[in-house]
Amino acid sequence: MADAVPVQTFGGPTALFEYGGLRLLTDPTFDEPRDYVSPSGVSLTKLAPPAASPDTLGRVDVVLLSHDQHPDNLDDSGRALLATVPLTLTTVGGAARLGGAARGLAPWGSVQVGAVTITAVPARHGPEGCEPITGEVTGFVLTADGLPPVYVSGDNAALELVEQIAGRFGPFGTAVIFAGAVRTPLFDGALLTLDSAQAAEAARILGAQQVVLVHFDSWAHFTEGRDALEKAFTAAGLADRTQVGG
């Protein structure tokens, strides 16, 4: 992986990586273990502390926020961090709720930040028609001259959307894929994020040479963790290009 992007992960969906001269952070969650209630009334329990605190991150140029509604993607410490970052990219509705330096991008909309073009790409946080309950979410694609593209999935459960994104931008150098196989009784147990086998299939569709898996640990509602992911990526022949957290 000669073109591998350096990526640090901190538990849950939170990762810091460098690309095109920028330092970018995904879905910041730095609270200590505690209980929350999501807007839909579902209780969420954080089980483990973050691997680092916000004050150890160094410079962060852009936060890539898949959505602001759920504490396992943006918690209280993460919200405080946003006030110190020059730019937060998220959904249109999320930017309106957050204010400050948050900027909303509709699907396929893009913004230039330095040498990097950041494009919002579709994501769906559950089965077809889930949006009134789970809310609007987004993924991101980063491109820059002379560099392979980077994909950040956000909370996405739809492989057909991954296929659309791969058709427009693939193959990818790096894919940061949110996994965890989140399920809820609100949708009769339907997946709200990719399960382990689907995450491996997403990596194959994307043609990713480097895969970083996040959003599978630290929270009680993640139903598949490291062991399931390692098994799925080994079975798919992708283990040699995959970073499972850490």
Residue 105: give its domain's CATH number. 3.60.15.10
Rounded Cα distance between 101 and 80, Å, is 12
Instruction: Tell me how many degrees the CA angle 93-96-97 measures, rounded to the nearest 5.
Output: 90
99 part of a folded domain: yes
Task: Check residue 165 and give its pLDDT.
Answer: 98
1 part of a folded domain: no
Task: Spell out the residues 6+ positions from residue 185 whose beta carbon is closer than 8 angstroms to its own.
Answer: none
Its domain, for residue 78, covers 7-244
202 part of a folded domain: yes
Residue ranges of the chain whose pLDDT lies below 70: 1-3, 246
Q: Of 192, 180, 173, 181, which Cα lies nearest the Cα of 245?
A: 180
231 part of a folded domain: yes
Task: Check residue 210 and give its pLDDT.
Answer: 97
Task: Check residue 246 and give its pLDDT.
Answer: 61
Q: What is the pTM of this model?
A: 0.95
17 part of a folded domain: yes
223 part of a folded domain: yes
74 part of a folded domain: yes
Domains identified in the chain, total number: 1
Buried (b) or exposed (e) across 200-214, using 16+ Cβ within 10 A? bbbbebbebbbbbbb
139 part of a folded domain: yes
Task: Check residue 224 and give its pLDDT.
Answer: 95
